[in-house]
Amino acid sequence: MTDDRSFRGTAATVLALAVAMAYLESAVVVYLQLALDSQVGAIFPLRPVAEVGDLVLIEVGREAATLVMIATAGILAGRTGLERLAWAAVVFGAWDIGYYAWLYVFAGWPPSLATTDLLFLIPVPWVGPVWSPVAVSVALVGFGLAAARAERHGRHLVLRPWHWIAGVGGGLLVILSYTLDAGSVIDAGMPGTYSWPVFAAGMVLASAAAVDVLRRAPARPGSG
């Protein structure tokens, strides 16, 4: 019972932080778009670097700062290395879902989950339909909570080499699906057709590894 209360309390705190981060992130995007005399969601074609100047570096720095905050939240919330990683995944996923939710509240954007968005800028532009990062985020929150709960209840999670290979490989495929059009986008072109089969392959690979890790986690001594 103590472990359940501890897990629920940590989960509530972590999710509250993620929702608050999402609010700030979406508010900054709205301010930035208005400061550039642009409508929220009017992203493509990208403006030339010479036109926006130092704003590109500021935006990259903002994204890097967000990653530091997510990692810090995981480190503070978890007790073991894997639990910290799990909580960081929960924060990332909940923040990303909340980001789109707040943007819709503030500006009615995105109009649909099929809307193409500029997802990230490090090290090159990541572009894809909104449904794809939302799908990744749902998986991160689900698997992250399951892994954090298992660790908090004493079920030690063991990652074998193939789990790491599948997880990292799947993640790289997802990233690849977002960056295949990076060259065209950088040159002020419009994004092409999204490579959803590459995305799907990456999601299946990474999810299979996560499911297997959770399935193989030994029960807590004395729980059965």
**Arithmetic mean of pLDDT, 156-162:** 92
**Arithmetic mean of pLDDT, 79-97:** 96
Burial class (CB in 10 A: 0-12, 13-18, 19+), 223: exposed
Question: The tokens 């707040």 sit on which residue?
Answer: 102
* Averaged pLDDT score across all residues of the chain: 90
pLDDT, greater one: 184 or 126: 126
pLDDT of 99 strictly over 80: yes
Question: DSSP per residue over the chain, as a string?
Answer: -HHHHHHHHHHHHHHHHHHHHHHHHHHHHHHHHHHTT--TT---SPPPHHHHTTHHHHHHHHHHHHHHHHHHHHHHH-SSHHHHHHHHHHHHHHHHHHHHHHHHHHH---SSTT-EEEEE-SSS-EEEETHHHHHHHHHHHHHHHHHHHHHHTT------HHHHHHHHHHHHHHHHHHHTTHHHHHTT-------HHHHHHHHHHHHHHHHHHHHHPPPPTT--
pLDDT of 59 strictly over 90: no
pLDDT, greater one: 17 or 36: 17
| Residue among 135, 137, 24, 134 nearest 90 (CA) | 137
What is the distance between the alpha carbons of residues 59 and 186, in angstroms, rounded to a whole number? Answer: 15
What is the distance between the alpha carbons of residues 209 and 73, in angstroms, rounded to a whole number? Answer: 24
Q: In the structure, what pLDDT confidence band is assigned to residue 48 with cuts at 50, 70 and 90?
A: low
List all residues 6 or more positions away from 209 whose beta carbon is below 8 Å from its beta carbon: 162, 163, 164, 166, 167, 170
Give the rounded percent of residues in the chain with a pLDDT score beyond 70: 93
pLDDT of 224 strictly over 50: no
pLDDT of 216 strictly over 90: no
Q: In the structure, what pLDDT confidence band is assigned to residue 220 with cuts at 50, 70 and 90?
A: low
- Give me the pLDDT at residue 39, please: 81
Q: In the structure, what pLDDT confidence band is assigned to residue 36 with cuts at 50, 70 and 90?
A: confident
Question: Domain extents for the chain?
Answer: 2-216
- The total of other beta-carbon atoms located within 10 Å of residue 196's CB is 14
Q: In the structure, what pLDDT confidence band is assigned to residue 169 with cuts at 50, 70 and 90?
A: very high
pLDDT of 86 strictly over 50: yes
Q: In the structure, what pLDDT confidence band is assigned to residue 210 with cuts at 50, 70 and 90?
A: very high
Structure tokens at 155: 């079920």
